[in-house]
Amino acid sequence: MENDNFTTLEQGAWGGLLGMHGRMMRLIDADLQAHSHISHVEFEVLLRLSWEADHRLRIHDLAARSVLTRSGISRLVERLEQAGLVVREKATEDRRGAYAVLTKAGMTHFEAALRQHVAFVRRHFLALFSEAELEQMAVFWQRVETGQANLESGDNTRPEN
């Protein structure tokens, strides 16, 4: 009755993914903490801010793109503010809102963190794959995001749940 459990193949793909992700996260957190004294989520927030032309983003937008909720982002921004990496600014066009804005010091700190982080991820993950393989991976994740199965993959019970 192996219909009730993962097959070996599924174990390799899904279980392997979970295990690999867990190990990578531990490594990355440790590296980020050691070199830049920030967590992975904090790094990601700085990354999103650096992507903006004016280096500013609403708390709500940060939450929408991150793994955290608004309350989490609110407190995270508070920490970054205490560290001097960002400042809060009230939005003038919508007086409920607040922006998180990268400071000069924050940008400098982030750029160093980014260099180290990119090198780290390349060394421990990206360097292990060819360009074609990376391309294929991107296609995989895209497929999960859209929920669209590949061509003819047999038993596609339609997602209803």
Partner DNA sequence: TATATGTGATTGCGCACGCAACAAACGCAT
Partner DNA sequence: ATGCGTTTGTTGCGTGCGCAATCACATATA
- Report in angstroms how near the CB of residue 92 gets to a second copy at its nearest: 31
Q: Is 58 in the site for DNA (CB under 7 A)?
A: yes
Question: Which of 13, 64, 91, 105 forms a contact with a second copy (CB under 8 A)?
Answer: 13
Which of 39, 8, 46 is closest to 25 using CA atoms?
Answer: 39
Closest CB to DNA among residues 23, 152: 23
Q: Single out the segment in contact with a second copy by CB under 8 A; choices: 5-13, 53-61, 70-78, 89-97.
A: 5-13
Residue 97's binding partner among a second copy, DNA, none (Cβ under 5 to 8 angstroms by kind) is DNA
Which of 35, 39, 13 is closest to 26 using CA atoms?
Answer: 39
Distances (CA, A) of 25 to 1, 57, 137, 140: 35, 26, 18, 20
Question: Which of 48, 79, 88, 124 forms a contact with a second copy (CB under 8 A)?
Answer: 124
CA angle at 4 for the pair 149 and 161, rounded to the nearest 5°? 45
Closest CB to DNA among residues 10, 78: 78
Chain positions 78 to 97 lying near DNA, rule: CB under 7 A, are: 78-79, 88, 91, 94-97
CA dist., res. 72 & res. 17, Å (int): 26
